[in-house]
Amino acid sequence: DGGITQSPKYLFRKEGQNVTLSCEQNLNHDAMYWYRQDPGQGLRLIYYSQIVNDFQKGDIAEGYSVSREKKESFPLTVTSAQKNPTAFYLCASSSSERETQYFGPGTRLLVL
C-alpha cells in the first residue's frame, strides 16, 4: 500500500533532550513537509524539502532541525532549544506536479 508512515505514535521528551520523529513515504513524492498542530491554532509549517539534500525553513523553524538524505525519508529533530514542544506533529508529502499534500497519521510529543 502506498502512503506516509510516522513513528512513533507517541513520544516523551525529558528536559534538555533532543528527540527525532520519523517520516517515511513510498508515494515517490518529491516534496515533504513537517507541520505542528496545536489546539485552536491550526497547522503551522516547520520545515519543507522539495528535493533530496535540500530543505527550507517554514514559519516556525526555531528549535527544530531536519535532514533529507533519501527521497522517501524526512526526519524531524526537536531540539532542547524548543521550549514548548508539546504538540501533534504531522508529516506530509506532495508530487511536484500537484498542489495538494497528503498527510501521515501524526506523532504526539509530550514533555515529561
The dihedral formed by the CA atoms of 13, 15, 18 and 22, expressed in degrees to the nearest 10: 10
Judged by CB under 8 A, the residue of 13, 60, 63, 103 near other proteins is 103
Does residue 65 bind other proteins (CB under 8 A)?
Answer: no
Q: Among 13-21, 61-69, 74-82, 97-105, which window interacts with other proteins (CB under 8 A)?
A: 97-105
Distance CA(59)–CA(52), nearest Å, equals 21
Q: Among 13-21, 41-49, 66-74, 76-84, which window interacts with other proteins (CB under 8 A)?
A: 41-49
Q: Among 13-21, 61-69, 72-80, 96-104, which window interacts with other proteins (CB under 8 A)?
A: 96-104
